[in-house]
């Protein structure tokens, strides 16, 4: 099985934070019939980030496996973490709640430019462009910012008393699915991941002339590589791809190309079952069937 030095990715993306102890403060908490919600704040690269920790109300006494739940994009900059905990937006996106009811602790922060991390003084649709260009002038990318925050978020998870930091998963749809791919490649603390409608190939995206979220574009990345390259850093860890055959954001033919190359990376070994793609007759969406498959994937690996 091919293996790659994680520092190779840093030559493309930039130097990322190392694991460290990151404390958090409690903002407030509330609950419903099944779950408890704790809003916290931690710092990443000097910036405050608000996140929700969602737990089953009748949780066991042992530490819980944790799933980092990254929100979608959908050009809804006013909405981030609240959507995945079912407090706004599309109810089908509330996978942090769905998984918490299955026995997981879920961790749902805002990505840069979204919800409580929009940039004051800018119209919300200008926030992403501004941050992308600001970072570009510093020799960085928006993807670097996303990944730095995710790595620091995982370090924060490690300080939660009832979290089992040896059992961390990552789940995301759309932008969240994209970050499932990048984050799992750069952080080995993520033991298992699910990406829903989260990527294709740069080749297919450019051929279809799709103006995508700016976090997808890392300077010089596509000069030598396409997104299947990231699986060299993910293998042999379990990774599930949920793809919509009618997805107009991430073209399906590109997803098929990625999975073919990823399977070669995993090889015909005991790890060959750790890479899987399931296709659905849907567009760019997370259906109930897709979410159930995601839950089964996590259950078989993290055992809540």
Contact 240, 194 (CB under 8 A): yes
Query: What 8-state DSSP symbol labels residue 196?
Result: E
**Residue that has been written with the tokens 């819980």 in this structure:** 64
Residue 144 in 3-state DSSP? helix
Percent of the chain at pLDDT > 70 equals 98
What is 258-289 written as a DSSP string? HHHHHHHHH-SSTTGGGEEEEEES-SSS--HH
Q: Kindly report, residue by residue over 43-54, the tens digit of the pLDDT.
A: 999 999 999 999
- Hey, CA dihedral for 5, 6, 7, 8, is it positive or negative? positive
> Is the confidence at residue 3, as pLDDT, over 90?
no
> Is the confidence at residue 64, as pLDDT, over 70?
yes
> Is the confidence at residue 62, as pLDDT, over 60?
yes
Contact 280, 290 (CB under 8 A): yes
All residues at 6 or more sequence positions from 42 whose CB lies less than 8 Å from its CB, including other chains? 22, 23, 24, 25, 48, 49, 51, 152, 153, 156
Q: Angle between the 175-186 and 142-157 helix axes, to the nearest 10 degrees?
A: 70
CA dihedral 180, 183, 189, 195 (to 10 degrees): 10
* Structural domains of the chain, ranges and CATH numbers in brackets: 6-302 (3.40.50.1820)
Q: Kindly report, residue by residue over 107-148, the tens digit of the pLDDT.
A: 999 999 999 999 999 998 899 999 999 999 999 999 999 999
Contact 152, 27 (CB under 8 A): no
Contact 207, 184 (CB under 8 A): no
In this prediction, residue 304 carries a pLDDT of 83
- Hey, CA dihedral for 125, 27, 182, 10, is it positive or negative? positive
Q: What is the mean pLDDT of residues 226-241?
A: 96
pTM: 0.96
CA distances from 31 to 70, 93, 106, 156, 297 (A): 21, 19, 14, 22, 27
In this prediction, residue 4 carries a pLDDT of 67
> Is the confidence at residue 162, as pLDDT, over 90?
yes
How is residue 223 written in tokens? 């000069």
CA within 13 Å, CB half, 235: 25
CA distances from 224 to 180, 199, 229, 264, 297 (A): 22, 18, 9, 18, 32
């Amino acid at each position: 099985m091919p293996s790659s030095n994680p520092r190779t990715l840093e030559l493309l993306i930039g130097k990322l934070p190392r694991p460290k102890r990151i404390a958090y403060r409690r903002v407030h908490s509330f609950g419903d019939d099944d779950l408890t919600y704790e809003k916290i704040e931690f710092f990443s690269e000097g910036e405050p980030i608000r996140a929700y920790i969602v737990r089953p109300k009748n949780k066991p006494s042992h530490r819980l496996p944790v799933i980092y739940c990254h929100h979608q994009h959908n050009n809804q900059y006013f909405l981030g973490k609240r959507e995945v905990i079912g407090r706004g937006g599309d109810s089908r996106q509330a996978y942090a709640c769905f998984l918490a009811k299955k026995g997981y602790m879920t961790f749902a922060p805002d990505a840069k430019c979204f919800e409580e991390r929009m940039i004051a003084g800018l119209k919300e649709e200008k926030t992403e462009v501004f941050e992308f260009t600001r970072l570009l002038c510093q020799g960085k990318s928006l993807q670097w910012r996303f990944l730095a925050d995710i790595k620091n978020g995982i370090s924060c998870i490690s300080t939660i008393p009832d979290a089992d930091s040896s059992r961390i998963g990552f789940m995301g749809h759309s932008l969240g699915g994209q970050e499932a791919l990048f984050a799992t490649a750069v952080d080995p603390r993520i033991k298992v991941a699910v990406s829903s409608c989260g990527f294709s190939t740069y080749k297919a995206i450019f051929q279809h002339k799709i103006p995508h979220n700016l976090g997808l574009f890392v300077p010089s990345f596509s000069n030598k590589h396409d997104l299947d390259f990231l699986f060299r850093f993910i293998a042999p860890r379990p990774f599930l791809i949920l793809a919509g055959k009618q997805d107009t954001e991430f073209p399906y033919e590109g997803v098929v190309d990625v999975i073919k190359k990823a399977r070669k990376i995993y090889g015909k070994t005991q790890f060959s079952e750790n890479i899987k793609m399931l296709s659905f007759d849907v567009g760019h969406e997370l259906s109930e069937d897709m979410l159930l498959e995601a839950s089964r994937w996590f259950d078989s690996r993290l055992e809540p």
